[in-house]
Amino acid sequence: MIVIGLLVCLGAHFGARRSARRWLRIPGARTLSREAEPSYFETPRGRRLGWRLAGPSAAYALSVVLVLVMLLANGEEQSGTRIIVRPGTPAATAGLQTNDRIAAIDGVAPASWPEVQQRLAAVGPERSVSLSVERDGARLSLTATTNVEGRLGIMPLHEVGSKPFADALAEAAATPIVSAFKAGESLRSDLAGARKADLGGPVGIVRTIAAEPARPLARTRFLLALLAIPTAFVWPISPFVELLLTPRRRRTA
């Protein structure tokens, strides 16, 4: 994965560096060389700075775009009122099935899973509750009795919806910075002999997608994550490379 990130970042870096040298008309310098002619140092400082920033800016921008596309393609998990029914529970005994959507509890329609939890908690243990559920386009009325803990034995079925573009853009813009910080923390932990079990964050997206092959377009999402996440992690290499390529006057015999 790291190799993928390196290739993408350095490709963007040197491609932008080469193009910016032409657009900004930077004389006396080469894309892959530190040595520069005197004419380079006579070029206005603003143009030289723009050229130096082109590589890291392009690597960062490409990382943001890749993460943005990945986030939009992956969507956003939402906990609605569709349920998973555990076998052998009061819900199963009452006739509820996985994929049912809770439409009403004692005549009141819940808008979200937390509201389902609140209304069932208010029922109390070993009490009857009237449920209206939607199943295959039909609405059914069922009666269930909570157990001694006041539960029915249902869980939310997470559904994938579209992620708001503004939220995805904000997360994508922060991901290269956050990922680089986490990579640095991981390296520091390695050196100190106290590595954490998991970095979390965007890496979790790759693992989640890989673990759910039944989701629509799962392979596409996985490939996007495989391209975006390594790029986000190794993005800081781009400014480091630019520092190594700081122009110096060409030596003359």
Concatenating the DSSP letter of every residue in 171-224 gives: HHHHHHHHHHHHHHHHHHHHHHT---S---THHHHHHHHHT-TTSTTHHHHHHH
Q: pTM score, two decimals?
A: 0.65
- Domains, the chain, ordered by start: 2-75+164-249 (no CATH), 77-161 (2.30.42.10)
Bridging pattern class, strands 248-249 and 35-36: parallel
On whether the CB atoms of residues 202 and 105 are closer than 8 A, the answer is no
Q: Is 85 helix (H, G, I), strand (E, B) or coil?
A: strand
- Which bin fits 130, alpha (ψ -120 to 50), beta or left (φ > 0)? beta
The residue count for the chain: 253
- In order along its 253 residues, the chain shows pLDDT tens digits of 678 888 999 999 999 999 999 999 999 998 888 899 999 999 999 999 999 999 999 999 999 999 999 888 888 777 789 999 999 999 999 999 999 999 999 999 998 889 999 999 999 999 999 999 999 989 999 999 999 999 999 999 877 778 889 999 999 999 988 877 776 676 566 666 554 444 444 455 444 444 444 445 566 777 788 788 888 888 889 999 999 999 998 765 4
Dist. CA 154–CA 101, nearest whole Å: 11
**Amino acid identity of 178?**
V
